[in-house]
Amino acid sequence: MHTLYGWYARTREQADLGPFSTSKEASDALSRHIKAYQGLNKRTPGALKAVHLHDADQCSKTNCGLCVEARIFRHSLAVATP
């Protein structure tokens, strides 16, 4: 995902990867990450897919691309409000 701070690769682990200067760098980092963690994080077969609402104030990740995006968006709304 692209933010004002750069490109992030989202992961299921404690930290997302990034920020990176280009989408290629993020993609390469994600490829390395997938190879390193391949087979370690099993998903539950038949698990339902759902809409994910991200709460940056409650997020437990140490480096989260969605939190970066949410905080930028929240700040831009505060600045733009008359």
What distance in Å separates the CA atoms of residue 76 and residue 72, rounded to the nearest whole number?
Answer: 6
Res 59 pLDDT > 70? yes
Check if the beta carbon of residue 11 is closer than 8 Å to that of residue 17.
yes
User: Which pTM value belongs to this model?
Assistant: 0.61
What distance in Å separates the CA atoms of residue 64 and residue 79, rounded to the nearest whole number?
Answer: 23
pLDDT tens by residue, 24-58: 999 999 999 999 988 876 666 666 666 667 788 88
Q: How far is CA 74 from the centre of its chain?
A: 17
**E runs forming strands in the chain:** 2-3, 6-9, 17-20
**Which residue's structure tokens are 């200067």?**
21
